């Protein structure tokens, strides 16, 4: 209850701003409606003009006037100029009206005012509705009022907080999350759809007035640089397209929940289950599943605070598809290694989340679903999934991984044996993006240091930008050559074709392969982990023999290829024990 009260106190000011702006709009429109029957009367302008008020962020203007008129044999004095009272800087209405009134007052010209026949002391000069101002106020109604109202509805409709100290939650912590009460878990697609519409509406409301302001800047002031402002409405159109696509995806495939087996998913065991899709079964359609272990945390401070995600582990496989009650049923099972962090049911400031993504390229709307699922350290195995079905799906994934690895590694034959080449430019996309980001940071640092004289701030920006740029240039311009010569595995690193490092390991001392995540990229909620593969000898020395592999399954495929090309065999614990026994002369060996 305490949390609900705090959130309510936070939401009420936003809701109040929306209500206030809604009242202002309603009052303006009501006044415009009732003034349509007011009588037009000539008036003498006593004074007129506009006042400017300087604020911390911008200046506002307010047109003023004082005029006298006669109605029904009585003389009255009025000062109302327009429907909206107070100053603003929406367009040039206030300045233009003020200048016109000032000119009329100086020349002694008559003006036309509108008088309420039932209350002649009420009058106005301009009874037209300023739709630009109405639109501006509507932004506050929708954004502030909508946010406040939505937050109030969310917090008071939310399930009551659960006591994590109770025994049933200590034994089954995933039950603290209302979405994890059963093995059947819905995707976040519907939430994403409404979120897309909310963000598209917010953006378009914010930028709705820009075309009119740009038109005024270009036609009246010949400020053609203002045309850049049209980019914001164009982005708004793109967001509307995005929201429509999310809606079409939801309508086509429906809820499509995942049913986990085991429940919850298991670290050191299996994460598996079934997904029923509302679409006809087509054996040619390939459904890709990606399982991510993510760390979600808050970065920055103050106004710069934002939530970020870091991918810790990732694996990909092709789901087995078969006819189902709803049309198509998907079956899948991941083998999850030990040592990973479990899901956090309460998801506080910093927590870990397991996310399952389902993706398929189809005619028309593509399938793209995310499921946040419970995965805990239970070491449980799937009980209802056929091993034959799972192995069949894994075999299909292995073929895909082998083909992907074949595109990454160039195999050459030379006089001394086989050579595996990882050429320059293999990380072209992420590297060029990083170089661009680094250049922007470095340019900002130069501007702050040289133009603004802020050397500390500029030095930080410039230093960070330079480091990012140099690192990404290295990723782009380096290459790796791995070969087997006279029983030695040799790895040569080159930069622009020039050797910069050389490592080697004797084939007979090789013990095992080891994979490490070396590069992570993120686009929206989609993560990609790139792995490198190292060869480890019995003394613990290592050399990198492969890199640039997407996901764990692709890294494993690379290990198989490298082992095959160089005739390497990983040494098991039993092999090591046998070798030690042989050295010590243990008569029980074998």
Q: Return d(Cα 85, Cα 68) in angstroms, integer.
A: 19
Q: Among 380-384, 397-401, 529-533, 581-585, where is mean pLDDT lowest?
A: 581-585
Identify the pLDDT of residue 2: 63
The pTM assigned to this predicted structure is: 0.67
Helix H segments across 447-548? Answer: 455-477
Tens digits of residue pLDDT in 162-203: 766 777 778 888 988 888 999 999 988 888 888 888 888 878
Identify the pLDDT of residue 574: 41
Residue 584 has pLDDT above 60, yes or no: no
And the tokens for 388?
């034959």
Residues in the chain: 590
Identify the pLDDT of residue 164: 67
Work out the mean pLDDT of the chain and round it to a whole number: 86
Handedness of CA 70, 71, 73, 76 (dihedral sign): negative
And the tokens for 180?
């994890």
- 272 Cβ contact partners less than 8 Å away, ≥ 6 residues apart: 260, 261, 262, 265, 331, 332, 333, 334, 382, 385, 390
354: left (phi over 0), alpha (psi -120 to 50) or beta: beta
The owner of tokens 């959130």 is 7
Residue 577 has pLDDT above 60, yes or no: no
- Please, which pLDDT band fits residue 142 given cuts at 50, 70 and 90? confident
Give the residues across from 422 on adjacent strands: 480
Domains of the chain: 2-134 (no CATH), 183-393 (2.60.40.640), 417-574 (no CATH)
- 520 Cβ contact partners less than 8 Å away, ≥ 6 residues apart: 310, 311, 527, 528, 529, 530
Tens digits of residue pLDDT in 534-547: 999 999 999 999 99
- Please, which pLDDT band fits residue 587 given cuts at 50, 70 and 90? very low
The phi, psi pair for 358, rounded to 5°, reads -115, 130
Give which of 78, 80, 76, 75 is closest to 63, Cα–Cα.
80
Tens digits of residue pLDDT in 87-96: 888 878 899 9
- Percent of the chain scoring above 90 in pLDDT: 42
Q: Among 141-150, 195-204, 301-310, 373-382, where is mean pLDDT lowest?
A: 301-310
Tens digits of residue pLDDT in 271-316: 999 999 988 999 889 999 999 999 998 887 766 677 888 889 999 9
* DSSP assignment letter at 15: H
Residue 215 has pLDDT above 90, yes or no: no
The stretch 429-436 carries a mean pLDDT of 85
- 126 Cβ contact partners less than 8 Å away, ≥ 6 residues apart: 81, 82, 83, 97
563-567: long-range contacts, CB 8 A cutoff, minimum separation 24: 563/513, 565/411, 565/418, 565/420, 565/484, 566/418, 566/484, 566/489, 566/507, 567/484, 567/507
The stretch 567-587 carries a mean pLDDT of 48
- Please, which pLDDT band fits residue 216 given cuts at 50, 70 and 90? low
Please write down the HEC assignment for all residues of 111-157.
EEEEECCCCCCCEECCCCCCHHHHHHHHHHHHHHHHHHHHHHHHHHH
And the tokens for 543?
């050399």
- Please, which pLDDT band fits residue 125 given cuts at 50, 70 and 90? very high
Q: Return d(Cα 317, Cα 290) in angstroms, integer.
A: 7
Give which of 394, 291, 398, 273 is closest to 340, Cα–Cα.
291
The owner of tokens 């609900």 is 4
Question: Sheet of 417-422: strands edge to edge?
Answer: 410-414, 417-422, 478-485, 488-495, 498-506
Radius of gyration of the chain measured on its C-alpha atoms: 34
Identify the pLDDT of residue 57: 66
Residue 573 has pLDDT above 60, yes or no: no
- Please, which pLDDT band fits residue 583 given cuts at 50, 70 and 90? very low
Give which of 277, 287, 282, 285 is closest to 252, Cα–Cα.
277
Query: Residue 537 in contact with residue 546, Cβ under 8 Å?
Result: no
Residue 256 has pLDDT above 80, yes or no: yes
Q: Among 26-40, 110-124, 287-301, 438-452, where is mean pLDDT lowest?
A: 438-452
The stretch 12-17 carries a mean pLDDT of 90
Higher per-residue pLDDT: 160 or 572: 160
- Please, which pLDDT band fits residue 31 given cuts at 50, 70 and 90? very high
Give the residues across from 548 on adjacent strands: none
């Amino acid at each position: 209850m305490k949390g609900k009260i705090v959130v309510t106190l936070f939401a009420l000011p936003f809701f109040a701003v929306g209500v206030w702006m809604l009242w202002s709009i309603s009052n303006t429109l009501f006044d415009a409606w009732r003034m349509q029957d007011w009588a037009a009367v000539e008036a003498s302008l006593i004074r007129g003009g506009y006042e400017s008020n300087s604020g911390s962020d911008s200046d506002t203007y307010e047109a003023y006037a004082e005029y006298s008129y006669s109605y029904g044999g009585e003389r009255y004095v009025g000062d109302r100029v327009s429907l909206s009272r107070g100053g603003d800087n929406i367009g040039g209405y206030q300045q233009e009206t003020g200048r016109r009134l000032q000119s009329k007052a100086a020349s002694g010209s008559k003006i036309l005012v509108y008088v309420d026949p039932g209350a002649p002391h009420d009058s106005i000069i301009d009874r037209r509705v300023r739709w630009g101002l109405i639109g501006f106020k509507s932004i506050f109604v929708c954004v502030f009022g909508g946010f406040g109202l939505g937050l109030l509805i969310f917090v008071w409709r939310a399930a009551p907080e659960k006591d994590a100290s109770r025994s049933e939650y200590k034994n089954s912590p995933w039950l603290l999350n209302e979405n994890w009460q059963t093995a059947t878990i819905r995707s976040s697609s519907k939430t994403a759809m409404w979120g897309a519409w909310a963000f598209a509406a917010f953006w378009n409301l914010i930028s709705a007035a820009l075309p009119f302001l740009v038109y005024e800047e270009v036609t009246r002031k010949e400020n053609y640089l203002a045309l850049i402002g049209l980019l914001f409405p164009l982005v708004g159109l793109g967001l509307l397209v995005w929201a429509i696509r999310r809606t079409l995806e939801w309508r086509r495939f429906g809820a499509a929940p995942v049913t986990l087996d085991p429940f919850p998913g298991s670290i050191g065991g299996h994460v598996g289950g079934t997904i029923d899709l509302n679409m006809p079964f087509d054996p040619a359609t390939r459904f890709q599943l990606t399982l991510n272990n993510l760390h979600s945390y808050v970065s920055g401070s103050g106004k710069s605070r934002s939530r970020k995600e870091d991918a810790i582990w990732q694996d990909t496989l092709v789901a087995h598809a078969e006819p189902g009650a709803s049309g198509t049923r998907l079956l899948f099972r991941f083998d999850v290694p030990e040592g990973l962090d479990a899901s956090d049911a309460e998801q506080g400031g910093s927590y870990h989340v397991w996310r399952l993504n389902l993706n398929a390229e189809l005619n028309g709307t593509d399938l793209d679903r995310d499921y946040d699922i419970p995965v805990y350290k239970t070491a449980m195995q799937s009980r209802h999934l056929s091993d034959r079905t799972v192995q069949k799906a894994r075999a299909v994934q292995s073929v895909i991984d082998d083909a992907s690895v074949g595109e990454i590694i160039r195999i050459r034959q030379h006089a001394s044996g086989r050579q595996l080449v990882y050429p320059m430019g293999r990380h072209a996309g992420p590297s060029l993006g990083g170089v661009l980001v680094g250049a922007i940071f470095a340019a900002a640092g130069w501007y702050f240091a040289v133009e603004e004289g802020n050397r500390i701030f500029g030095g930080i920006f410039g230093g960070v930008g330079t480091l990012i740029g140099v690192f990404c240039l290295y990723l782009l311009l380096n290459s790796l050559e791995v070969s087997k010569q006279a029983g030695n595995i040799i790895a040569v690193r080159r930069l622009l074709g020039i050797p910069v490092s050389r490592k080697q390991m004797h084939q007979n001392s090789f013990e095992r392969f080891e994979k490490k995540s070396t590069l992570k990229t993120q686009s929206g909620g989609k993560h990609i982990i790139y792995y490198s593969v190292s060869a480890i000898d019995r003394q613990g020395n290592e050399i990198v023999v492969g890199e640039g592999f997407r996901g764990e399954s692709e890294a494993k495929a690379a290990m198989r290829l490298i082992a095959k090309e160089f005739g390497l065999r990983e040494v098991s614990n039993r092999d090591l024990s046998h070798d030690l026994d042989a050295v010590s002369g243990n008569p029980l060996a074998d």
